[in-house]
Chains A and B, each alone.
Chain A
Amino acid sequence: MRRQLLAIVAFLAAMALVPHLVDSEFWRNWVMMALFYALLGQAWNILGGYGGQFSFGHAAFFGTGAYCSAILHVHYGVNPWIALPAAGMAAGLVGAFIGFLSFRYGLRGSYFALVTLAFAEVLRILANTVPITGKGVGLLIPLEPGAANMQFADRTGYFYLILAFVGLALLLTLWLEHSRFGARLVAVRENEDAARALGVDVFRTKLAAITLSGALAGLGGSYYAQLFLYLDPGIAYGPAISVEALLVPIVGGMGTLFGPLLGSFALHGVSELAKLAFGEAPGLDLALYGVLLVLMVMFMPNGLFGMGRTTLARLLGGRRDA
């Protein structure tokens, strides 16, 4: 735990230097977006990686957070800083709602994946129809630069904000790894019946995990809205975010503290390379993502982090088999 905490602090400190040391606006942005996807991935990781419940609809939480803070701000004049926790809570509630229904009726595996997908889709259609979201046209957040409005003209503010969120997510995950709740969540992932026989309330454990995961993704949504100052149903609730949220931890290493971080930087490194290689051709970088995903599952089912760890352990001769 000590060492993990030190690693987190070292990482955050190194990242904090990026805006000062990296001159290129492009690369600063690149790191910022990698951090943003790491946040989404970490959110997914809590439910999917530690809890073993694969969601294919994390956009439902992301979009709710995004719309919640944007709507509160645009239509009700609520300050974005105040709307931020509200967005996290709203997304957490959506998580609790979906979780309550799915887990109460014992949905698992593919069925759970499908139901989350369907919920995201229902929300997308709703956002397309109700006036408060601006329907298909989208919702424009008025430009009012100023830290008080969570809008940062020089963008360094955005950088530190997402860094803070990532730090929060990392600390939360660290706590998870060393808490009773986390131990129970992992037990549920490994074997529900055995967990119940040991007094674990499987339903409540999963419910707490999806709520937490949803809330974290909701914070990501709120951040996204303030960063791009524009939302539409496809951005907020479309499948792209859901896929991104699950790819990042799967590539990096599910159920690990640093997996999503690693996955996010790796994936965005690859996609940047792909863009360099293929020019700005739309689609090719994403196609490469897909290839990567298949190769990942084929050759390293434990993710980059898992692979790094087992290789390291083997090199050090640390792995003792029965």
Chain B
Amino acid sequence: MLEVEGVSKNFGGLRAVADVTMRVEEGSITALIGPNGAGKTTLFATISGFLRPDTGRVRFLGRDIAGLSPERICRLGLARTFQIVQPFAGLSVRENIAVGAHLHRPGRTEALAHAELIGRQIGMGRMLDQPAGALTIAGRKRLELARALATDPKLLLLDEVMAGLNPTEIEEIVAVVRRIRLAGVTILLIEHVMQAVVSLAETTWVLSDGVLIARGSPAEIAADPKVVEAYLGRGAAARLAGREGGAAHA
């Protein structure tokens, strides 16, 4: 469904993403992991059109989308969330989600109804009329997910939607993600919460210093010395022992 071929992205002298080639199968849940600063968010940004790749191609549903604008890519059925949440702070949760719902629903009533439906699915039923600016971090992460989902995507890119959440909240989101996939949406997620990666993803890719260093099932990845080294080299112990204090990402 998604094929990334030899994509690189530089910031000045920094190679944030270096010659990455990867694919996401239709109907799967695929995870992308890697230490902080590995280039995961940058890769998402190049796939979703917010950054133009310096080299390489991105194919989505057989079509080259590198260089298209984010809104065009979204209309083709590829939606993303932001690691640093970007709510429409002055609008209610319902109105936030409705902006996404409008993509394929011109009518206001329809879009609002769909927003409500999605909101309930994501577990935001009771927050629908709250201003998004008043949400807790967990609420905002859910809102990111809900808005993206409301655009009826075929492929959903989730950037650390579980960072900063407590274990109960993580469990809830894991269940939500699973349901989304059952509804036929393919998912590519960036996640540091290993427990979530293990329980969700069939395939995991590991990015380190902009380079893909491993690919496999979560179990295979965990046994891969290159991966352990990539994490340990950057103080993985702390991360594995529940680094999701989360403040650094919020």
Contacts and interface: CB of A to CB of B under 8 A. Distances in A.
Interface of A: 178-180, 183-184, 186-187, 189-191, 193-202, 320-322
A184 B129 CA distance: 18
A322 B132 CA distance: 10
Interface stretch (B82-90, B210-218, B227-235): B82-90
A183 B99 contact: yes
A197 B69 CA distance: 9
A184 B86 contact: no
A186 B71 contact: no
Interface string B86-97: 111111000100
B148 A197 contact: yes
B88 A194 contact: yes
Interface in B31-72: 48, 50, 69-71
Contacts of B95: 183, 186
A319 B82 CA distance: 29
Chain B interface residue bracket vs A: 35 or more
B99 A187 contact: yes
Nearest to B143: A194
Nearest to B104: A199
9 contacts: A186-B88, A190-B87, A190-B91, A193-B86, A194-B86, A194-B87, A196-B50, A197-B80, A199-B151
Contacts of B151: 198-199
A191 B102 contact: no
B111 interface: yes
A230 B75 CA distance: 51
Q: Is the interface of A mostly helix, strand, loop or mixed?
A: helix
Given A186-B88, A322-B130, A199 B98 contact: no
A102 B78 CA distance: 29
Nearest to A52: B90
Q: Please report whether the interface of chain B is mostly helix, strand, loop or mixed according to DSSP.
A: loop
Given A183-B95, A322-B134, A199 B148 contact: no
A183 B108 CA distance: 9
A10 to B, nearest CB: 23
Q: Most B CB atoms within 10 A — which of A193, A200, A201, A321?
A: A200
B216 to A, nearest CB: 30
A196 B90 contact: no
Contacts of A191: 86-89
B188 interface: no
A322 B137 CA distance: 12
B118 interface: no
Counting from the closest, the 8 A-B pairs by CB-CB distance are A190-B88, A199-B74, A194-B86, A199-B103, A196-B70, A322-B134, A187-B99, A198-B100
A194 B90 CA distance: 13
Nearest to A1: B108
B106 interface: yes
Contacts of B107: 180
Given A197-B82, A198-B79, A183 B111 contact: yes
B82 A178 contact: no
B89 A190 contact: yes
Contact of B99 (A178, A184, A201, A322): A184
A199 B134 contact: no
A191 B136 CA distance: 18
A191 B143 CA distance: 14
B9 interface: no
Given A179-B108, A183-B111, A202-B71, 11 more contacts: A190-B91, A191-B88, A193-B82, A196-B69, A196-B71, A198-B147, A199-B100, A320-B130, A321-B134, A322-B134, A322-B135
A146 B148 CA distance: 58
A111 to B, nearest CB: 21
